[in-house]
Amino acid sequence: MKTVAANIDQIFGKLTPPPGPTEIYKDPVEGLSRVLVVGIQLSLIIGAFFSLIYLLMGAIDWVAAGGDKETLQKAQAKMRNAFVGMLVLVFALTLFVLITGNLLNIIQIDGGGFQFILPRF
């Protein structure tokens, strides 16, 4: 029976499981911090994208308003709201960096990106 098992290993070779993703599973804390960073970046990008779209919609409405005062005021309100949305994004990012970076020392800014330093027990 040993010869059959030895022959099978010689015929098929030794089976090894495939490696997982190299960066995420090395350190779970680092993987979690990368997930948080990507989530924050995506939310900022999506928010900025929708604010720009809303700003462009307001500009198009302004041009299309012609001489109608009510339509012009609605277009101005759209553009104002889009600008306020962009300011909220900037203030939210600034407040996040201030609280997590300066007060709690959870993040470090490396090369234009965030690196979370989560506490370990």
pLDDT value, residue 72: 95
State the virtual CA torsion across 105, 109, 113, 119 in degrees, nearest 10: -30
pLDDT value, residue 113: 75
Beta strands in 1-121 (DSSP E): 107-110, 113-116
Spatial separation of the C-alpha atoms in residues 81 and 4, rounded to whole Å: 76
Question: What is the tens place of the pLDDT at every residue in 49-107?
Answer: 999 999 999 999 999 998 899 999 999 999 999 999 999 999 998 998 888 888 888 88
Whether 25 and 31 have beta carbons less than 8 Å apart is answered as yes
Whether 116 and 37 have beta carbons less than 8 Å apart is answered as yes
Question: What is the tens place of the pLDDT at every residue in 22-37?
Answer: 655 677 777 777 788 8
For the chain, which residues make up each domain, given as ranges?
38-121
Whether 75 and 59 have beta carbons less than 8 Å apart is answered as yes
pLDDT of 5 strictly over 70: no
Tell whether pTM > 0.85.
no
Q: Which two tokens stand for residue 15?
A: 């089976």
